[in-house]
Structure 1
């Protein structure tokens, strides 16, 4: 934050409908370079350079790619082409998927281009080797197909660095998805430097095809995108038919700390209304190939029909998620439930005092196991990369950390004493794990784990009751809790804050908070919800655009604490009604807040997750079993029970 929020409470509180600013995408999406990305059938698919194989990451949300597991779809046993595997391009033709890539025998000069083909319609394969493509007996890289006038063409870069002159773009017609035909054509292309023209990718615009390519050495900070275009109806194999657009169209942004943006791809938002670019960039101006990571952001179109890519965004400036992207509850903050890959996960305390873990596999199978104990109260959990982390209070007030990693299983460790309430936590952009909870003296205790595994702690002060909620907002950390005077206590920390100590304010909500708060960050806004004395749900939001707090009342008649999350453009609050039923309150742009009873019989406060176009609410049934609500459909899980005081 650039100013202390304590100043905000002096401003007049404005009553009105909440505004939606979109869930955000935290770049980078992947730790490698040369990305290709597509959205199809409810999932994003991303591939990047891996060097010895071709792997794909899949996620129903764009943000989820950052934590999705890799699926290795092809590893070539042939030593003549299984090293220096670069720049996969993922395309679908005639019902099958094709990946175009570059590989060698370990000698750069021997790079050639290859194609693998899927056995069916699944982008994850299986794949088989199909062919070497566009082989003219010399160095060739970065091959990608494009379609113009209804016909497929292939674009690539050759002959290579220092091998017959600077790399340039070549074009050739394709007769099948895995072969070219006829003569190749060299396409002159400007670039502001002499050494490289590579990674040419087609982009369909109104009445024209744009060929966007990278220029300059990718290790340099001035690696950048340039563009040529051709009108519909003209032959792309005639170089004179192409128009060279002057100057770079996407280049370094020193103010945002982005250098060498390039080797891009394009994709469309899930609802088809937005255009997006995926590319790699780095955070150093040094001449190095290390540190290139995959990022994505939206772009627009100019009045003359040309694309406007804007400037590359810094890693601290997360873009709003693509329109129609189903928000996943794994980001931000933590909860007892979240999505890991395609599996819905939930944690709670069992009657025998262990940490219970329930999950639903992609085929719908319901599973259950325990991660150990003893634990007290209700735990919290979140994802960190491919790992799953859960934190819980032990009966003697210690913070217990459980985590699972692929191929390793569940491990546990003790983070120390001093916890009197249930924990809440988050993962910050730098990879640190943070956990907050009420200490025995009512102050806010804070633990965090450095990326090297070192656990540290401090105390953020205050006087609170109940369980806090916590989330990140860019590089900032925000914690909300109920004060002993029924106020909304807001703790916050940001890099550069005076004395490196957190600050505290009350958001103007004194004497009105009668439950644990719940909330989330959304675009440039922060939203917090809580139950008032009359059982209605109060909503407060802070807008970083105009630096004001707004408040309204969503109604309802709840008992216990509500639970809030976003799903697409809609904001949702669920809670246990005084009648024991599951109540749903929601708001979407252009409509008033609506309220609905979903029935059922809850004996504790629900926890929710959003998954694709579905919402799941977890709670305890009258018999003590875990139950999920999906709309008015209630499923009782076959194994494990939740403790009665959970």
Structure 2
């Protein structure tokens, strides 16, 4: 059952059984929500004028997986974006649910919809986002800075040990990157990024206080899952890996006290009055899992307010803690 925290008055959990939650507040006043469904077989959208309203909002299936081929299995982590008057959904999909040497075979794909309301109209497949390698790739997100649109994503470099690193590249359109300018901005290096698997994934971008902040998630998807933080000066060359500073410790991790386990794969939005920055993330309410945690359905979407330190950096607090 959801409870509402006393400080920010947001239901916790916000949406049940929706991992990798993505919330986007549009200029029409609606919050648009999507996330991974437990069966990993489709992309669902819902909207509401309030965040709490997302819990019971009508859902629409935007797209279903193919019967065979590259987009036929494990539909993961959809995100909805509004770019130059059109709606886009970024997601990862594989050709099989099986793994090869411990890795899935996901690639990144894009859907486009030119309707005013993305819960209506047709979603057109724009194809795969091509990168330097044909390798495990997922969790594409996009942002604009000073007239340049960027893509940030997670991918396996065939020459680097581990599951995924984070990369950034400028985009030539909403489904194409400039491969020649693709660079890596973080690879798992600290112990907390390498529990179970060597993972950096699930990036989300927040521009505040003269900085570009990128959160990401690390380690296995059980209670060890946690969030790290990259930051760069807004005047820096974002394609220069040296400008990105990484937190030496996780910035958001399991809390035994509040019984929030494995928090991560977040997005950012703002409160209804526009005065608070909000962290949207998933977490479980129990620690012990039977079988592969990827197939445990109870990663629920949650939300809480971000506070800001005097030096302009975000303080995400403790998952589930009241203000």
TM-score, normalised via structure 1 length:
0.44
Q: Give the conservation status (yes or no) of the 8 Å contact 1:119–1:128.
A: no
For 1:24 and 1:236, the matched residues in 2 are separated by: 34
Which residue does the alignment assign to 1:273? 275
Is 1:309 paired with 2:316?
yes
Structure-1 residue corresponding to 2:128? 132
Structure 1 partner of 2:3? none
* Structure 2 CA distance for aligned equivalents of residues 269 and 104 of structure 1: 35
Q: Hey, what does 1:43 align to over in structure 2?
A: 30
Provide the C-alpha distance between the structure 2 equivalents of 1:275 and 1:24, rounded to a whole number of angstroms.
Answer: 13
> Could you tell me which residue of structure 2 aligns to residue 591 of structure 1?
none
Distance 1:138 1:21, change over 3 A: closer
Q: How does 1:490-529 map to 2 (within 5 A)?
A: none
What is the rounded CA distance, in whole Å, between the counterparts of 1:56 and 1:71 in structure 2? 5
The structure with the largest strand share of the pair is 1
> In the alignment, which residue of structure 2 is the partner of 1:116?
111
Q: TM-score, normalising length from structure 2?
A: 0.85
Structure 1 residue runs of 4 or more that deviate by more than 6 Å after TM superposition:
160-163
Q: What is residue 106 of structure 1 aligned with on the other side?
A: 96
The 1:241–1:163 alpha-carbon spacing in structure 2 relative to 1, beyond 3 Å, is closer
Q: Secondary structure at the match of 2:62?
A: strand
Measured at CA, do residues 268 and 134 of structure 1 come closer, stay the same or move farther in structure 2, by a change above 3 Å?
A: farther
- What secondary structure, in the 3-state scheme, does the structure 2 residue paired with 1:124 have? coil
**Paired residues of 2:14 and 2:54 also in contact (CA < 8 A):** no
Separation of aligned partners in 2, 1:101 and 1:197: 17
- Deviation string 1:125-155 (CA, Å, 9 cap, x unpaired) is 4311112113421110111112233311111
Q: Number of residue pairs matched?
A: 296
Give the corresponding residue for 1:152: 149
Distance in 1, Cα, partners of 2:263 & 2:116: 32
> Contact 1:228–1:243 at 8 Å: present in 2 too?
yes
Matched, 1:59 2:42: no
d(CA) in 1 for partners of 2:145 and 2:232? 9
Match of 1:213 in 2: 216
Root mean square deviation, CA, Å: 2.3
Offset, 1:250: 0.8
- Of structures 1 and 2, the larger Rg is shown by 1
Select which of 151, 167, 172 maps to 2:169.
172
**Structure-to-structure mapping, 1:449-598, within 5 angstroms:** none
Give the distance between the partners of 1:262 and 1:312, measured in 2 at CA. 10
Q: Distance in 2 between matches of 1:44 and 1:59?
A: 5
1:297 aligns with 304
CA contact (8 A) 2:14 2:52 kept: no
Is 1:284 equivalent to 2:291 in the alignment?
Answer: no
State the Cα distance separating 1:182 from its structure 2 match.
3.3
Q: More deviation in 181-190 or 298-307?
A: 181-190
CA distance in 2, matches of 1:175, 1:112: 19
Superposed, 1:13-92 pairs within 5 Å as: 23-40=9-26, 41-50=28-37, 51-77=40-66, 79-80=68-69, 81-92=71-82
Hey, what's the Cα distance between the residues in 1 that align with 2:313 and 2:144?
18
Rounded Cα–Cα distance in structure 1 between residues aligned with 2:7 and 2:193? 40
Shift of residue 265, structure 1, vs aligned partner? 0.2
Q: Is the 8 A contact 2:283 2:301 kept in 1?
A: yes
Cα deviation, residue 69, structure 1: 2.5
Q: For residue 286 of structure 1, report the CA deviation from its aligned partner.
A: 2.1
Structure-2 separation of matches of 1:139 and 1:21? 41
Q: Is the 8 A contact 1:29 1:296 kept in 2?
A: no
What's the CA shift string for 1:39-94, capped at 9, x where partnerless? 22232211011211110122222112112221101124462113210000111110
1:193 aligns with 2:193: yes
Mapped partners of 2:207, 2:45: distance in 1: 24
Unaligned runs of 5+ in 2: 1-5
The answer to whether the 8 Å contact 1:39/1:270 transfers is no
Q: Is the Cα contact below 8 Å between 2:106 and 2:138 reproduced in 1?
A: yes
Cα distance in 2 for partners of 1:59, 1:161 equals 42
Deviation, structure 1 residue 162: 11
Contact 1:141 1:157 in 2 (8 A): yes
